[in-house]
Structure 1
Amino acid sequence: MHAGSVLIRKLALAITLFAVASVAIPTFAFLSASPAEAAVVRSISVQGNTRVDPETVRAYLTIKPGESFGPSDIDESIASLFATGLFADVQIVQRGSSLVVTVQENPIINRVNFEGNRGLSDETLAGVVQSKERSVLTTARVQSDVERILETYRRRGNYQASVEPKTIDLQQNRVDLVFEIDEGGKTQVARITFIGNEHFSDGRLRDVIKTRQSGYLGWLRTTDTYDPDRFAADQELIRRFYYDHGYADFRIISSVADFDRERNTFFITYTVEEGPQYRFGEIEVDTTLSNLDPEQLRRRVETRSGRVYSSELVEKSLENLTIEAAKQGYAFAQVRPRGRRDFDEHTISIDYQVDEGPRAYVERINIIGNTSTRDYVIRREFDLVEGDAYNRILVDRAERRLNDLGFFETVRITTEPGSAPDRVIVNVFVEEKPTGKVSFGVGYSTSDGVIGDVSIEERNFLGRGQYVKFLVGGGSDTTNIEFSFTEPFFLGRRISAGFDVYNRTNDADSTQSYDQTLTGGALRFGFPLNDDTTLQPFYRLYDRDISIPDFTTEANCIQNQNYISDAVCQTQGSTVTSLVGASLIYNTLDNTNFPRDGIFAKFTQEVAGLGGDTHFSRTSGEARFYKEVIPAWGVVGVIRGEGGMIKSIGDDGLDLQDQYFVGGSVIRGFETSGIGPRDASTGDSLGGQYYIAGTAEATFPLPLIPQEIGFSGAVFTDAGSLWAADPEAVPSGVTVESDDFELRWTAGFGILWKSPLGPLRADFAWPIVMNDADETQIFRIGGGTRF
């Protein structure tokens, strides 16, 4: 019995183990089956889904009913479902002959909120993040958004900013996503240092780059923060500056931006090696193209033997030669400069080799990144279109033009092979920036007192590249309303066309004894003759209304006046002027607002008499020459000359106000309209038919004053004269003094401020040679601000 009982118990245990094993074998096989022992299911069920359709879930699985699968298929299916971004959790298990997929759906974002942001608006940050309302919330996307927000703040200069994302659970598996932001302090550039520079001072090189040192007025600007893209662009600006000034061996050995976390500032250090300054040696133009005239090509070369070497002049020469060859029928001409450097004489001789280049055509020009600017505004800056011969020089020229428009933060042009070996696809990548602004202007001048204006300006109107401006301004004695419109590509050509309308009022003050209202408009055109020269024809029509306070008629003024010249009295009333003219402008200035090098010259001829009440011919001209005379210290020399002549057409003579009035704005040391013909009895200025003026000036940084403040000094001398009042503009009873040519000469010094809100200037000038009838003014201040 005992042995039988033992046997029975062993048999029962074996049966139990067999039963358990029979149940466990499928699960065990699922967990450890090899590809040769893969499982098969008959159906796939989906659980936990509320928004996502079960068929959508099944579509992402690599497992299909009736097909064998293994652990790798399970892993791949789980990864595929997670990759959709729809699910927070996924589990796949086999239950008998069914595969059960259990999912936990990611919540839907109800709202995206930003808290703690003061420097950047909610709209700006909403454009940065990828998480949007009514989209699925995913951890990876939120983490990416945090990095995007931090990068945006870093580019703004907030390197200590932090972002913490939080969610607020709502009903129906919805959440509010909140980014809690601590902007931290503004991370400024405390100091920009140059090591190894001998020919140019640190201050001069700081003027070359875009990044500025923080200073007393750092709160008014944003360029004193560290931006890695601006830092990289600054290095290229430094290289181009040295290459354009003859230092062909120049190189930046190192450029370092050290971040001081305790003080939350950057210290930027450039270590440079300048090398010697080179000049152009022999300049030759050779060509293997038999029909090209080398002499004709040489006339298009900007580089000249003996001049200081300039990479910019080499680039212009390449462009000119390429265009000239194309005009003579060689669309595929390739121009390559071959330099021969003489290390002993410090000269670089250049041989421009003009050959037949590879025959390649522009298959397509793709414009990428523009949302406001229309495609044709970008395409018209190219000198080639689809189907034309491809030329890299012309593409580089288009890239420079696009940058000069001021519409884009960045411009990048790349090429890729086309559909055939001789086809090239040109890709133009642009990143737009705001082109419109509302400006408030505040200024002060000695003659007009406090002045101000409000203007609305758009440089890319409706994305068409047109310029529109509306301005309202004035001061204690002046009011001004203006509207301007300019189309830079009139009739599809590189011709500018525009119009202006205005109303300007000047009340009687210490410099004039009458009120004047000028209402009119102008039509103008611009024809570029080359890169530096422009012809600008124009037509103007305006009404000038003169009134004298307390005197309603000319007769009343003449009979009762005891302080106003009869010449002024007879100008009362309205006069219409219709004139046509043209200006020829030559401009090679390196900077419009603060030039250091180049020439600006303008010659203008006007004729009035196409209708209207006045008939005269007026000729005027001016020229300014800038040269950095001591580059190491940033000393800039300026020579300026100007003059004009106006003559009556017919027997009626000139109106008093059509003549020239010269004073402190042209020859410092004198009042406005302070020199020239004058009524001996009343002292009123009567104007003159001729004037000349000249200036010699040197500007320099002020010592012992931090350069980031923007102050500089100037010493100058002015000279000139105004003479010959028109006899027809002066009644017979008026005695005119100071009517002959007499030279005036002054000298003085000035203080200039490149304020973040615009240029300001104060001058002290003393007459050295003058006429007793002249009115002097020792101190004069003028300028304005834009913000």
Structure 2
Amino acid sequence: MTYCVRVVGRLVTVVMLAAGGMATAGTGSVMLATQASAQSASSIVVQGNRRVDADTIRGYFRGDRLDAVTIDEGVKGLFATGLFEDVRVSQQGGRLVVTVVENLVINRVAFEGNKKIKDDVLAGEVQSKSRGPLSRAVVQSDTQRILEVYRRSGRYDVRVEPKTIDLPNGRVDLVFEVTEGTKTAVRRIEFVGNKAYGSWKLKDVMNTTESNWLSWIKNSDVYDPDRLNADQELLRRFYLQHGYADFRILSAVADLDRQKNEFNITITLDEGQQYKFGTVEVQSNIRDVESDSLRRVLRTRQGDTYNADLVEKTIEDLTIEVSKKGYAFAQVRPRGDRDAQTQQISVTYVIEEGPRVYIERINVRGNTRTRDYVVRREFDIFEGDAYNRVMVDRAERRLRNLGYFKTVKITNEPGSAPDRVILNVEVEDQPTGEFSVAGGYSTAEGFIGEVAVAERNFLGRGHYVRLAGSWGEYSKSAEFNFTDPYFMGYRIAAGFDLFYKQTEPSSSTSASYSNNMVGGTIRFGLPLQDNLSLLLRYSLYQQEIEIGNPEYRDCAPQGNVPFPDCQENGEASQAFKQIAGDPQMVSLVGYTLAYNTLDSNKQPTKGLYAELKQDFAGIGGDVNFVRTTGDVRWYHDLGSDIVGLLRAQGGYVTGWGDQEFRIMDGFFMGPNLVRGFKSAGIGPRDMDSNNQDALGGSMYWGTTAEVQFPVPWMPKDFGLRGALFADAGSLWDYQGEVYNGMEVEDGNVIRSSVGAGVIWSSPFGPIRIDYAVALSKADYDKTQAFRFSGGTRF
């Protein structure tokens, strides 16, 4: 009797779990457990089945004799198939009777009321499928999945109600009725404990944004817990880049106000103190590698603000340098010694011989469009090479920066031997094509429209292709660009450009001539170091100057009858008349050496950009000159999201050989050098021409000091910033011929101006408006206080 009680108790527990709490099914199997032990599977009677064969059901009760364990396992197995809503076991006339209630079959799964999320997205999330069984547990789980999908898209007041529509033959239509509700936005992001950086700056670091009147064109203001977790990592990296090695996020809480249907996020920080680098040493534990020989590649220097990114890049550089010396398995580990009193972190890079592990194979998966070799060429290590985690991380970072993939993940698994490893590169392609229609206005070119088609990953080969055309009030142009970032399998960016541009006379430039150019350029870009690059180019183009119509209105100040000798009557400078209608071919080679440490090329807040350019014309063609220009820009974060900019630029051009210096080879400067002046409004000028045409100069210099700051009471997402600036510069030394009838004014006069501007990084394109007042100028310069440039995309 004790044994029977024990068996009955066990069966009650197990069967209730298997049946999802259906006590009737469990009780039925328990009451006949002892009696059924004498029965065999062949004596089982199956009832209630319509689609599932009776022998299939009997097959779950295996064994010559049915005991309590066999019945228990059979009942659980039938429930596990998902085909049955209920399973009951009873004893009738000495036989074991299994009564089943089959689940209905789903004819189709449909969604109603969903407008923000498409059917195929929801269908991919639910487990209930057409021609599959209808399970209430699965339907309940599917409902939760749909709710979660909507919450990920920022809709927390969504309601989902599953319904079934009965059909003949035990079939049903499963319909999920969705009431989407309104978007649950992030109303406010607050920081607690931040002292070094203001809330505005920290919000700029995050991807999550606050909702505002621009919310209709963005989705970054919806609450996403994954995005918030990623934002916390961005905040950590930001503080570690600026020396706050003790930085911690104590909490990140998102409170949902259900009445207002909005989130309030509060992030509590512990910034700690800012550290600087103390002593920086290299300790080599490899016999043939001397520590002193590696110091030249260090990016971290004593006295500089501590920067975790520079430590990581130094580890990469040391790893590569040691591998060049023949130690491919070397590992570099940074050891930090933190001194809170002196606020310094001394770093020692320890170099050791690592375990000898080789790369057996590199698998590339998930790339449906991008070719395998486009992925593999971002690796500096290949099959058979020594495995090094630093080099793998470097490749992963390069793949992310390409912009070809939505996700990139590199994992490893054991190879065929203990010293072998297999790398698995998981990527997901994303659209890389762009089509844009742009329109805008600038004070230099008037109204202008542009149509452009571009592809950053052409045919999955990683090539960049762009075709663009523009038509403006005073100009029109067409351009085709092609770039192969890995020319001939090397890390050399090779490409060519074909272009055509025509500019017409305009009051903004005070020019009395049109300039037509057509030609092309072949270029090669070589990365010398991470921050240093060299661009080599060869250009061949034809340039032609045309004087305006002889019936130019200024030639007929009296009456409507034009002067027959209008072109000799002063509407254009003699310097341009001498070359008008004479197309000249320009053939030149040149290079650009650029050094770039900017934190962002679009909106830099710190770093240095320096550029040196030289062009040598006379490799064939009709023109000989040497042109040299330089440009240095330094950005500095002044705190509270205020950025300072200092800029210096200069240039010199001169002819060589017996060829006369051509007027069009000089520099024509205006607001690009000193704001507050017209285009070509600075420099040598022919005062005897009707419009006092600019003649261009052979030398120029310019300096700029600017402060950019956020506009108060404007949401950060709007991208509106203010600027205060001061410019100074000069353009002089006309080297061309002075013909009869020319009165040339030329002098090294300092031009200067001060002003204010508004910069808008709009969703439709960059726009800038400047108002500048000239403080000093030459009498013959032409000023223009207001300058507007930019455009829209739609």
Normalising by the residue count of structure 2, what TM-score does the alignment of the two structures yield? 0.87
Following the alignment from structure 2 to structure 1, what is the Cα–Cα distance between the partners of residues 541 and 100? 82
Q: Is the 8 A contact 2:104 2:172 kept in 1?
A: no
Amino acid at match of 2:377: R
1:469 Cα deviation (Å)? 2.7
1:752 aligns with 2:753: no
Distance 1:91 1:194, change over 3 A: same
Distance 1:128 1:785 in 2: 38
Q: What residue identity is the alignment partner of 2:628?
A: T
Alpha-carbon offset, residue 134 of structure 1: 6.4
Candidates 617, 620, 636, aligned match of 2:643: 636
Q: 1:31 to 1:199 in 2, by over 3 A?
A: same
Tell me, what secondary structure is at the counterpart of 1:571? coil
Moved more, 503-512 or 115-124: 115-124
1:685 to 2:694 alignment: yes
Q: Distance in 1 between matches of 2:532 and 2:645?
A: 21
Aligned partner of 1:9 in structure 2 is none
Contact 1:39 1:70 in 2 (8 A): no
**C-alpha distance in structure 1 between counterparts of 2:515 and 2:72, whole Å:** 87
**Residues 480 and 505 in structure 1, CA contact (< 8 A), matched pair in contact too:** yes
Structure 1 counterpart of 2:19 = none
Identity within the alignment, %: 49
Cα pair 1:44 1:58 within 8 Å, conserved: no
The counterpart of 1:62, out of the listed 54, 60, 63, is 60
Partner of 1:735: 743
Cα deviation, 1:228-284, whole Å, max 9, x if unaligned, reads 121111111111111111111111111111121111211111111112211111111
| TM-fit CA distance, 1:681 | 1.8
Q: 1:733 to 1:314 in 2, by over 3 A?
A: same
Distance 1:212 1:40, change over 3 A: closer
> Aligned partners of 2:132 and 2:438: how far apart in 1?
45
Distance of 2:245 and 2:438 partners within structure 1 = 43
User: 2:734 maps to what in 1?
Assistant: 725
- The SS at the match of 2:618 is strand
**Are the aligned partners of 1:653 and 1:726 in contact in 2 as well (CA < 8 Å)?**
no
Q: Take 1:214 and 1:616, find their aligned partners in 2: how far apart are those partners?
A: 56
Looking at structure 2, the residues matched to 545 and 148 of structure 1 have their Cα atoms a distance apart, in angstroms, of 67
* Worse overlay, 318-327 or 523-532: 523-532
| Cross-structure match for 2:33 | 32
In structure 1, C-alpha distance between the alignment counterparts of 2:622 and 2:296, rounded to whole Å:
48
Q: Equivalent residue for 1:259?
A: 256
Q: Aligned runs of 1:364-443 on 2, under 5 Å? A: 364-443=361-440
Structure 2 contact 688–741 (Cα < 8 Å) conserved: no
Native 8 Å contact 1:60 1:80 kept in 2 = no
Cα separation, partners in 2 of 1:241 and 1:556, compared to 1, 3 Å: farther
Whether the 8 Å CA contact 2:606–2:634 is kept in 1: the answer is yes
Letter in 1 for 2:777: M
3-state SS of paired residue (1:284): strand
- Alpha carbons 1:49, 1:103 under 8 Å: kept: no
Q: CA separation in 1, counterparts of 2:139 and 2:580?
A: 74
CA contact (8 A) 1:165 1:177 kept: yes
Over residues 725-751 of structure 1, what are the superposed CA-to-partner deviations in whole Å (9 max), with x where a residue is unaligned? 2324x54432211x2322211111222
Q: What's the offset of the Cα at 1:184?
A: 1.6
Counterparts of 1:305 and 1:349, CA distance in 2: 8
Give the Cα–Cα distance (whole angstroms) in 2 for the partners of residues 469 and 49 of structure 1: 64
Q: How many Å apart are 1:59 and its aligned residue?
A: 8.8
1:565 to 570, 573, 578: 573
CA contact (8 A) 1:367 1:375 kept: yes
* 2:755–2:772 contact (8 Å) kept in structure 1: yes
Q: Call closer, same or farther: CA 1:749–1:127 in 2, change over 3 Å.
A: same
Partner SS for 1:491: helix
Matched, 1:153 2:150: yes
Q: Give the secondary structure class of the aligned counterpart of 1:764.
A: strand
Q: Which amino acid aligns with 2:769?
A: A
Closer/same/farther in 2, CA of residues 173 and 579 from structure 1, 3 Å limit: farther
| Residue equivalent to 1:656 | 663
**One-letter amino acid of the counterpart of residue 61, structure 1:** G
572, 577, 583: which one aligns with 2:592? 583
Equivalents in 1 of 2:518, 2:142: separation in Å?
55
8 Å CA contact 2:86, 2:102 repeated in 1: yes
- The 1-side partners of 2:161 and 2:658 are apart by 83
Question: Paired residue for 2:117, among 97, 117, 120?
Answer: 120
> What letter is aligned with 2:240?
Y
SS at match of 1:299: helix
What do the CA deviations read for 1:393-446 (whole angstroms, capped 9, x no partner)?
A: 222222222222223344333334334332333333444443333334343322
The residue aligned with 1:716 is 725
Aligned residues of 2:41 and 2:58 also touching (Cα < 8 A): no
Q: Is this contact kept in 1: 2:503–2:515, CA < 8 A?
A: yes
- Is the 2:599–2:607 contact (alpha carbons within 8 Å) kept by the matching residues of 1? yes
In 2, Cα distance between equivalents of 1:741 and 1:436: 49
Other-structure match for 1:290: 287
Q: What corresponds to 1:495 in structure 2?
A: 492
Whether 2:470 is the aligned partner of 1:473: answer yes
Q: Specify whether residues 515 and 148 from structure 1 end up closer, same or farther in structure 2 by C-alpha distance, changes over 3 A only.
A: farther
Q: How many Å apart are 1:595 and its aligned residue?
A: 0.3
What corresponds to 1:672 in structure 2?
679
Give yes or no for contact 1:586–1:602 (8 Å, CA) kept in 2: yes
> What residue is the counterpart of 1:483 in the other structure?
480
Residues in 2 aligned to 1:63 and 1:340: alpha-carbon distance in whole angstroms: 68
After alignment, is 775-784 or 40-49 more displaced?
A: 40-49
1:529 aligned partner: 528
2:667 partner letter: Y
Per the alignment, residue 23 of structure 2 pairs with none
**1:125: Cα distance to partner?**
4.2
Q: Indicate how the Cα distance of structure 1 residues 434 and 90 shifts in structure 2: closer, same or farther if over 3 A, else same.
A: farther
Could you list the runs of 5+ residues in structure 2 that have no partner in the other structure?
1-27, 553-562
Which residue of 1 is the match for residue 769 of structure 2? 762
Deviation larger for 335-344 or 130-139 = 130-139
Distance 2:144 2:649 in 1: 58
Deviation of 1:669 after TM superposition, in Å, equals 0.7
Aligned pair in 2 of structure 1 residues 670, 751: CA closer, same or farther (>3 Å)? same
Q: 1:694 aligns with which of 675, 678, 703?
A: 703
Note closer, same or farther for the CA distance 1:548–1:338 as it changes in structure 2 (3 Å cut): same
Moved more, 708-717 or 679-688: 708-717
Letter in 2 for 1:33: T
2:695 counterpart letter in structure 1: L
My pick for the range that moved more, 490-499 or 663-672, is: 490-499
The normalised TM-score by structure 1 is 0.87
Q: Distance in 1 between matches of 2:521 and 2:668?
A: 22
Contact 1:571/1:655, CA 8 A, preserved across alignment:
no
Question: Residue 297 of structure 2 aligns to a residue in which SS?
Answer: coil
1:616-637: CA deviations, max 9, x gaps? 3222221111111x32x22211
Q: Note the alpha carbon deviations across 1:603-626, whole angstroms, 9 max, x for none.
A: 122223344433332222211111
- SS of 2:525's equivalent? strand
Q: Call closer, same or farther: CA 1:127–1:726 in 2, change over 3 Å.
A: farther
Which amino acid letter does the alignment assign opposite residue 770 of structure 1?
Answer: K
Counting matched residue pairs gives 751
Matches within 5 A, 1:435-474: 435-474=432-471
Contact 2:282 2:294 in 1 (8 A): yes
Alignment of 1:62-211 (within 5 A): 62-63=60-61, 67-70=64-67, 72-74=69-71, 76-77=73-74, 79-81=76-78, 83-84=80-81, 104=102, 106-107=104-105, 109-110=107-108, 112-129=109-126, 139=136, 142-168=139-165, 177-211=174-208
Deviations 1:627-677 (A, max 9, x none): 11x32x222111111222222343333443332111113310101111011
Which residue of structure 2 lines up, in the alignment, with residue 613 of structure 1? 622
Aligned alpha-carbon RMSD (Å) = 3.2
